[in-house]
Amino acid sequence: MSDRLTTAGIGSAPTLEGFLPRAIAACSPHQKKAYVPVWHRACGSLGRTPIDKITTLDIAILQREAVKRAAVRASSRNGRYAGEQSVRAMRALFKMAEQDGWVEHRHNPAAQLPLPRRKPTTRRGLTPREVADINAVVAAGSRDPALDCLIIRLHLETACRRSGALGLRLADLDIRWCLVRLREKGQTIRWQPISPTLAAALDRHARGRGAVRGRDALLRRLDHTPVSPRHYDALWNRIRSLLPWAAEHGVSAHWLRHTTITWVERRFGYATARAYAGHTDTASAPTATFIRARLPEVAEALSALTGEPHPLLEPSTTRPMKHLLNCTLDMGAAA
């Protein structure tokens, strides 16, 4: 049992609203965005309750309220994700309370509430015709078609998440090797191959709109300010307003990610698709360690996707393994 629980006494635990500033200070940027709104809503009904007096039933009620409050969209799951997010947020909060010594693990109320089982995603890869329709709408109906077409091309080539695109800086663009450095969820950082055409377009766009220092944003509006999440929302709202099928299915930038990764997996296999998507090596099968794709293999898939050569492509990638086996025997004989 922790020192605080044994010396201060269980009754001296702070209230939820009293503990919240300390929890927020310990959050990562991703946690702040995802969890802090849930915590503030919890304070509306439980703010003056000592944190060690909050029960599993209290958290279940918060979950149910989140489900009822969830926005209704074409792609919604009847508030299922909102309910899951509320449980995850409270689990994170009470994990911090455990670490701070206010709650024992066996009395953690959030840990005793099961997470709702996730349903398969309704997202899918878009057809070539659907991608063409999106491109046509963006090119014809945008106030800044140069920027918006660049955003669509970036997502189709890299299969990056929205956060990865918004986080790009001038220093993250490697013109020589045609790479961009993506920072995405889970605080992952990776280099992703892009075509020479996109690399040149990104550099021209950024410098033409005022990016001069390494930390300056890569994607910029006409007034030279960085692109924000609000710009993405407006872009996809406009696309959905002009394409009824996109509105019906709730199509967003993440659908472009599904489109590219599906295309890569069908032609280059699971390992290359996994590396292309930037998924971490957390697969349960030990074989995943051995089939991990390298950056040149990702570049090869990109080259097939764009029809452009890439500087990372190795001349040996198209040669059979037989020459490597023969080379090994030759080396053994020479030794």
Question: DSSP per residue over 317-330, as a string?
Answer: GGS-THHHHHHHHH
For tokens 């090596």, the residue is: 281
User: If we measure between CA atoms, which residue out of 46, 44, 64, 65 comes closest to residue 55?
Assistant: 46
Do 89 and 162 belong to one domain? no
Between CA 169 and CA 304, with CA 307 as vertex, the angle to 5 degrees is: 90
CA distances to 155, 157, 231 from 124, in Å: 15, 17, 23
Do 146 and 97 belong to one domain? no
What six digits make up the tokens of 206? 């950024």
- Within a domain: 301: yes
- Within a domain: 323: no
214: domain CATH number is 1.10.443.10
Phi, psi of 182 (to 5 degrees): -105, 135
In the prediction, which pLDDT does 171 show? 96
Q: Where are the alpha helices (DSSP H) in the chain?
A: 3, 16-25, 29-46, 56-69, 80-99, 128-141, 145-158, 162-166, 196-208, 229-242, 244-249, 253-277, 287-290, 295-306, 322-334
- Within a domain: 117: no
- Within a domain: 71: yes
Q: Which domain holds residue 214?
A: 128-316
- Within a domain: 332: no
- Residue 185 CB neighbours (<10 A): 11
Do 82 and 208 belong to one domain? no
- Within a domain: 326: no
Q: CB neighbours of 195 closer than 8 A, spacing ≥ 6?
A: 157, 178, 302, 303, 306, 308, 310
Q: What is the DSSP letter of 101?
A: T
Do 15 and 52 belong to one domain? yes
Distance between CA atoms of residues 69 and 63, nearest Å: 10
User: If we measure between CA atoms, which residue out of 261, 169, 166 comes closest to residue 206?
Assistant: 169
In the prediction, which pLDDT does 6 show? 41
Do 137 and 232 belong to one domain? yes
- Coil/strand/helix, residue 220: strand
Q: What is the DSSP letter of 8?
A: I
Do 154 and 266 belong to one domain? yes
**Sign, CA torsion 304/309/314/319:** positive
- Within a domain: 116: no
Distance between CA atoms of residues 238 and 5, nearest Å: 55
Do 83 and 138 belong to one domain? no
In the prediction, which pLDDT does 67 show? 83
Do 140 and 252 belong to one domain? yes
Do 71 and 163 belong to one domain? no
How many Å separate Cα 116 from the centre of its chain? Answer: 21
Domains in the chain, number: 2
Do 14 and 68 belong to one domain? yes
Cβ atoms of residues 276 and 258 within 8 Å = no
In the prediction, which pLDDT does 326 show? 56
Do 97 and 144 belong to one domain? no
User: If we measure between CA atoms, which residue out of 188, 168, 164, 132 comes closest to residue 254?
Assistant: 164
Distance between CA atoms of residues 72 and 315, nearest Å: 52
In the prediction, which pLDDT does 3 show? 46
- Coil/strand/helix, residue 315: helix
- For residue 51, give the amino acid letter: I
Do 281 and 217 belong to one domain? yes
- Within a domain: 112: no
Phi, psi of 47 (to 5 degrees): -55, -35
pLDDT tens track of the chain, all 335 residues?
Answer: 444 444 344 458 899 999 999 999 998 877 888 899 999 999 988 999 999 999 999 999 988 888 887 655 555 555 677 788 889 999 999 999 999 889 998 889 998 888 777 666 778 889 999 999 999 999 987 899 999 999 999 999 999 999 999 999 999 999 999 999 999 877 789 999 999 999 999 999 999 999 999 999 999 999 999 999 999 999 999 999 999 999 998 899 999 999 999 999 999 999 999 999 988 755 544 455 556 788 888 999 999 999 999 999 865 544 455 555 555 555 545 54
- Residue 121 Ramachandran class (φ > 0 left, ψ -120 to 50 alpha, else beta): beta
